[in-house]
Structure 1
Amino acid sequence: MPEPSAEWWKSGVVYQIYPSSFSDSDGDGFGDLPGIIERLDHLERLGVSVVWLSPVYPSPWDDNGYDISDYTDIDPRFGTLDDWDRLRDGLHERGIRLVMDLVVNHTSDRHPWFTASRAGEDDRRDFYFWRPGREDGPPNNWGAVFSGPAWSRSEGDDEYHLHLFSPSQPDLNWENPDVRHAVHDVARWWLDRGADGFRMDVINFISKNPALPDGPVVGDHGLFTEHSINGPRLHEFLHEMHREVFTGRDTLTVGEMPGVSVEQARIHTNPANRELDMVFQFEHVDLDHGPGGKFDPRPLDLVEFKASMNRWQKGLGEVGWNSLYLNNHDQPRSVSRYGDDGRYRVESAKTLATTLHMMKGTPYVYQGEEIGMTNAHMDDIADYRDLETLNHYRTMVATGRVDHETAMAGISRMSRDNARTPMQWDSSEQAGFTSGTPWIKVNPNRTEINAEAAVADPDSVFHHYRRLIELRREDPIVVYGRYSPLMEDDPRVFAYTREWEGRRLLVLANWSDREASVEEVEDVVRPEGRMLLGTHPEPERVLAPLRPWESRVHLFD
């Protein structure tokens, strides 16, 4: 077991595993826990200190495991609780902690709690939101994230149930103290078994306006921010959970919070408030959404992107803590989205990583990001598996709002399935992921992009990530240094400094395929300095122009 230390997660780097796509040990086409165990040396070599495991609980698999039917077991497709114990032990032996995905805004409609609630059992009816419909339909005008209304009534039901996601993912009623106690029991069960914390799925959805009123549309999906999320008892619920579950334990808690503001995040992550260690916010990854939402993407405006990142760095710089990410299971591959997945794939993947990992906060690496995996660019809707993607296609094309080609163009760029294609371990037909037929197609570029080749190449994206992780672990300036943005209005260069105890770190990153000047930052350069890391050979002078997709990290002692 890793040694306990105060706020160990500040100097750590988290690696997210999406189990169904990571490594398959038995040839059934789905990744599993034994498959992960077989790959632990890869994680140790990379140097990460935490693994975040996406859901492996029993599930009907309507939303790839985020519809949970049993919180205290393992889905047979992934293995057994004994396998989980072996994974825990294998990670802990390597000094790596294990964080579970806690999905408690909603359950599956196959969960025994919902089955009993639908049947009207007295002690379970109020575990969920049941309301009579209005003359014109559902109880209110809220929309669901995965399209359509947020209310459904199945055959035989007298009332509608609320689901902010799929109809098969009914929302739990956290106003009911029995629900909260049941969730606390689940969390304690996993911590007692050896988990080291939780990533909490859409945790700011657990408090809603109890009146469930109509409201104005907010956001891509028709959610109603002032009523359905960030509700009046959110701080109370999170503080209660901290008190009942986490007090006295050496854990990490990160809350996924769509729609959270910097000001709200400061409160949630202020240690004095005892709520969460950090949050996942979505502001920066929503900036390339066009007028029609995420599947109508627009080119990234780097000035706007920097302003968002800088605002969060400043807002949580002294109070609270940032999570740092560009990729996860819900976002397309960052090198395809923000970089150049063609000519400059390696350089841009390294530069995106440098920009992110040298900031103040805890970096998250999503599986395959460390080898520069790209979007799959699938052009047949039949190749997709993601519920959100398929619902969007059916809705948009069936209603004639867009044609097939337009819909597929947006899906190819932004579908969550871009992040869910199998991990590319080697250049073989199924990329070393499985000996069988994978549940979703392998990216054809596995012959060029794979872990085996990346580990063998000392100048690869993998080894760049490894060096970034080493810097964070070894030098407190990367962890605690004060962040100051530079060149804020430059449309191509992302630059900033970190300062700690008289030392200064200068980060220069060219987010374009053209040479870029950095003479503007001359006043922060000191006579004595050295380049710690770069994507290209060290230039003769610190302020030499940045080559296409070049980044450099300089330290001035």
Structure 2
Amino acid sequence: MTEWWKSAVIYQIYPRSFQDSNGDGVGDLKGIQSRLDDLKALGIDAIWISPIFPSPMADFGYDVADYCGIDPRFGSLEDFDALLAAAHERGIKLLLDLVPNHTSDQHPWFLESRSARDDPRRDWYIWRDPKPDGSPPNNWISDFGGSAWEWDEATGQYYYHAFLKDQPDLNWRNPAVRKAMLDVLRFWFARGIDGFRIDVLWHMVKHIDLPDNPANDEWAPGQADYTRVHQLHSTDQPEVHDIAHEMRVIADEYGARVLIGEIYLPVPKLVGYYGTVERPGVHLPFNFQLIGAAWNARSLAKMIADYEGALPVDGWPNWVLGNHDRPRIATRVGAEQARVAMMLLLTLRGTPTLYYGDEIGMADVSIPAHQVQDPRELNEPGIGMGRDPVRTPMAWDASANAGFSPADPWLPLHPDWLERNVEAQRGDPASLWRLTQKLLFLRHEHPALALGDYHPIDAGGDLLAFERRLDHDRLLVVLNLGDTPQGFAIPEWAESFTVLASARGGHDPALLSPNEGYILG
């Protein structure tokens, strides 16, 4: 039997920005539940919800103070159980965002660890003495800028934090930490969730001796501070694969579950996180290549081929166009080409993840300085690392605040929300929402599109073409990634095919208009 997640389309929800049910300007669990029918109508198979655990919100939930509760801003455990049941009633799976690399500095574990050098939980985190001159133990740099070491005056040592100082890293070399965190997986699996997206999986183990990271000789002012060094010793250590395997064993104990690992690494290293047949790792190491790819047909064709060629025999591919950390696809390639990008995401072999709002073409929103919320932007302003622009509220209709909340939203809406909203696009046959719905329908209707093989087809110029095939089900996909018309020689085997979907409503796949794409079958 094929695992459900292989044919599924996963939809990422940033909960603060999806739907507010209580009028405080921040999204919540009851809000998500109220929109499940909208997601069902779109054709979504699974939702992944960014962190909803109790948190001081220094990094908006990625600083966890309790792994087995729900932050009151989002609701309660009872609200979560109701959401989970409602999703399952609609045939929608639910994944949570696990943040195992670090906790909040307000987590009881860290408060105990920080209380004294001889506290039983001292070694649950990474504490080290200063160098003789009082400086940090090594040259490691936080991903949010500045030293990754924070001095603790009371105990006379530094603690390590790969992100904010409010997010101390757990010491995964400590067996007690491992047991406590693996019990968190069991808690939520027993509650009925269908899987986890695992935050910064490749960060979780550090070199045991904590040596300096090598300097990056290509770094220049204006680039992110953490790129001044290569994270050779602070990330991607061999022992992390043992942790991934332990998590996989637990997931497998609960049956049809999935683990998705956030890993920003080159493909040869990325695919290592699948593990081996004997010691499997996560089911899906996130493949972020489309997010940073040069958007042209030839480079994309090579990227897809290289990725397919690098996958282990039993490794299932996956694709992502956007997420809560990176610029939206409509900003990167433009509103018209975003339609072609959606066709690409939903026709490639593998499990696609769709970021909320991309189905209506939401673009990055310019955030006035006085409304900036993201600590990354506040720490390193002006270098383009701020994430607020891609986390703005979802637009549902043309009512006040786009139907997101009766109150002023926590971040501003996109400026064209009166026209760019779900209700308006559901009523427009030519909209991106309707195109996305059509593509999701085709994935459910055609096994070749959901589970079939991928076969590239030679195409010149700005065209990207490929076949999806499973037994007798064959589909042809041809996409124009450029802004000029492109001729395409339809293969003989597809000459009798009809147009199943078009990015712009065209009818002639032998001559593609700019920013056009077709699925033939």
TM-score range, shorter chain: over 0.9
Establish whether residue 535 from structure 1 lines up as the match of residue 506 from structure 2: no
- Given that 1:271 and 1:277 are in contact with CA atoms closer than 8 Å, whether structure 2 keeps it comes out as no
Partner SS for 1:16: strand
Establish whether residue 483 from structure 1 lines up as the match of residue 454 from structure 2: yes
- Given that 2:290 and 2:320 are in contact with CA atoms closer than 8 Å, whether structure 1 keeps it comes out as no
Query: Which structure 1 segments of 5+ residues have no match?
Result: 289-299, 394-406
| 1:92-491 alignment runs, 5 A limit | 92-120=88-116, 122-134=119-131, 135=133, 137-217=135-215, 221-222=226-227, 224-262=230-268, 264-266=270-272, 268=274, 272-287=278-293, 300=295, 303-316=298-311, 318-338=313-333, 340-341=334-335, 344=336, 348-378=337-367, 380-393=368-381, 407=382, 411=384, 415-487=386-458, 490=461
Establish whether residue 21 from structure 1 lines up as the match of residue 17 from structure 2: yes
Instruction: Report the Cα distance in structure 1 between the residues aligned to 2:275 and 2:410, rounded to whole angstroms.
Output: 38
The residue type equivalent to 2:244 in the other structure is L
Identity over aligned pairs, percent:
39
Instruction: Report the Cα distance in structure 2 between the residues aligned to 1:498 and 1:243, rounded to whole angstroms.
Output: 32
Instruction: Report the Cα distance in structure 1 between the residues aligned to 2:238 and 2:33, rounded to whole angstroms.
Output: 42
Establish whether residue 554 from structure 1 lines up as the match of residue 511 from structure 2: no
Q: CA deviation at 1:133?
A: 1.6
Q: TM-score, normalised by structure 1?
A: 0.87
1:39-77 CA-partner distances (Å, limit 9, x unpaired): 111011111111101111111111111110111111111
C-alpha change, 1:387 and 1:495, in structure 2 (3 Å) is farther
Q: CA deviation at 1:317?
A: 7.6
Establish whether residue 54 from structure 1 lines up as the match of residue 50 from structure 2: yes
Instruction: Report the Cα distance in structure 1 between the residues aligned to 2:278 and 2:362, rounded to whole angstroms.
Output: 40
- Given that 2:244 and 2:273 are in contact with CA atoms closer than 8 Å, whether structure 1 keeps it comes out as no
Partner SS for 2:232: helix
Q: CA deviation at 1:496?
A: 2.1
C-alpha change, 1:150 and 1:355, in structure 2 (3 Å) is same
Partner SS for 1:226: coil
The residue type equivalent to 2:431 in the other structure is S
Instruction: Report the Cα distance in structure 2 between the residues aligned to 1:266 and 1:437, rounded to whole angstroms.
Output: 45
Partner SS for 1:207: coil
Instruction: Report the Cα distance in structure 1 between the residues aligned to 2:371 and 2:327, rounded to whole angstroms.
Output: 16
Q: CA deviation at 1:150?
A: 1.1
Moved more, 522-531 or 329-338: 522-531
C-alpha change, 1:264 and 1:512, in structure 2 (3 Å) is closer
Instruction: Report the Cα distance in structure 2 between the residues aligned to 1:361 and 1:518, rounded to whole angstroms.
Output: 25
The residue type equivalent to 1:227 in the other structure is H
| 1:63-78 alignment runs, 5 A limit | 63-78=59-74
Instruction: Report the Cα distance in structure 2 between the residues aligned to 1:474 and 1:110, rounded to whole angstroms.
Output: 49
Instruction: Report the Cα distance in structure 2 between the residues aligned to 1:269 and 1:499, rounded to whole angstroms.
Output: 27
- Given that 2:430 and 2:505 are in contact with CA atoms closer than 8 Å, whether structure 1 keeps it comes out as no
- Given that 1:269 and 1:279 are in contact with CA atoms closer than 8 Å, whether structure 2 keeps it comes out as no
- Given that 1:367 and 1:423 are in contact with CA atoms closer than 8 Å, whether structure 2 keeps it comes out as yes
1:242-294 CA-partner distances (Å, limit 9, x unpaired): 22453242201100011253354155265553211101133443446xxxxxx
Instruction: Report the Cα distance in structure 2 between the residues aligned to 1:141 and 1:58, rounded to whole angstroms.
Output: 32
Instruction: Report the Cα distance in structure 2 between the residues aligned to 1:431 and 1:448, rounded to whole angstroms.
Output: 10
- Given that 1:317 and 1:482 are in contact with CA atoms closer than 8 Å, whether structure 2 keeps it comes out as no
Query: Which structure 2 segments of 5+ residues have no match?
Result: none
Q: CA deviation at 1:184?
A: 0.9
What RMSD over aligned residues (CA atoms) do the two structures have, in Å? 2.2
1:392-445 CA-partner distances (Å, limit 9, x unpaired): 21xxxxxxxxxxxxx3xx63xx64222211000112341111111211111121
Q: CA deviation at 1:179?
A: 0.6
Count of residues in Structure 1 that have an aligned counterpart in Structure 2:
511
Instruction: Report the Cα distance in structure 1 between the residues aligned to 2:374 and 2:460, rounded to whole angstroms.
Output: 37
Instruction: Report the Cα distance in structure 1 between the residues aligned to 2:506 and 2:292, rounded to whole angstroms.
Output: 35
Partner SS for 1:227: coil
C-alpha change, 1:263 and 1:232, in structure 2 (3 Å) is closer
Partner SS for 1:262: helix
The residue type equivalent to 1:304 in the other structure is S
Partner SS for 1:445: coil
Instruction: Report the Cα distance in structure 2 between the residues aligned to 1:184 and 1:455, rounded to whole angstroms.
Output: 42
1:323-374 CA-partner distances (Å, limit 9, x unpaired): 2111111122111112x23xx3xxx332111111100111111111111111
Instruction: Report the Cα distance in structure 2 between the residues aligned to 1:322 and 1:148, rounded to whole angstroms.
Output: 36
- Given that 2:397 and 2:424 are in contact with CA atoms closer than 8 Å, whether structure 1 keeps it comes out as yes
- Given that 1:267 and 1:273 are in contact with CA atoms closer than 8 Å, whether structure 2 keeps it comes out as no
Partner SS for 1:504: strand
- Given that 2:443 and 2:450 are in contact with CA atoms closer than 8 Å, whether structure 1 keeps it comes out as yes
Instruction: Report the Cα distance in structure 2 between the residues aligned to 1:113 and 1:489, rounded to whole angstroms.
Output: 58
Moved more, 111-120 or 503-512: 503-512
C-alpha change, 1:516 and 1:383, in structure 2 (3 Å) is farther
- Given that 2:343 and 2:517 are in contact with CA atoms closer than 8 Å, whether structure 1 keeps it comes out as yes
The residue type equivalent to 1:473 in the other structure is H
- Given that 1:269 and 1:320 are in contact with CA atoms closer than 8 Å, whether structure 2 keeps it comes out as no
The residue type equivalent to 2:475 in the other structure is L
1:511-556 CA-partner distances (Å, limit 9, x unpaired): 222222334xx5565332222211234434x422x1111000112x
Q: CA deviation at 1:86?
A: 0.7
Instruction: Report the Cα distance in structure 2 between the residues aligned to 1:533 and 1:269, rounded to whole angstroms.
Output: 37
- Given that 1:260 and 1:281 are in contact with CA atoms closer than 8 Å, whether structure 2 keeps it comes out as no
Q: CA deviation at 1:486?
A: 3.8
Q: CA deviation at 1:37?
A: 1.2
- Given that 2:21 and 2:31 are in contact with CA atoms closer than 8 Å, whether structure 1 keeps it comes out as yes
Moved more, 506-515 or 417-426: 506-515
- Given that 1:209 and 1:232 are in contact with CA atoms closer than 8 Å, whether structure 2 keeps it comes out as no
Partner SS for 2:91: coil
Q: TM-score, normalised by structure 2?
A: 0.92
Instruction: Report the Cα distance in structure 2 between the residues aligned to 1:142 and 1:488, rounded to whole angstroms.
Output: 46
Instruction: Report the Cα distance in structure 1 between the residues aligned to 2:457 and 2:377, rounded to whole angstroms.
Output: 38
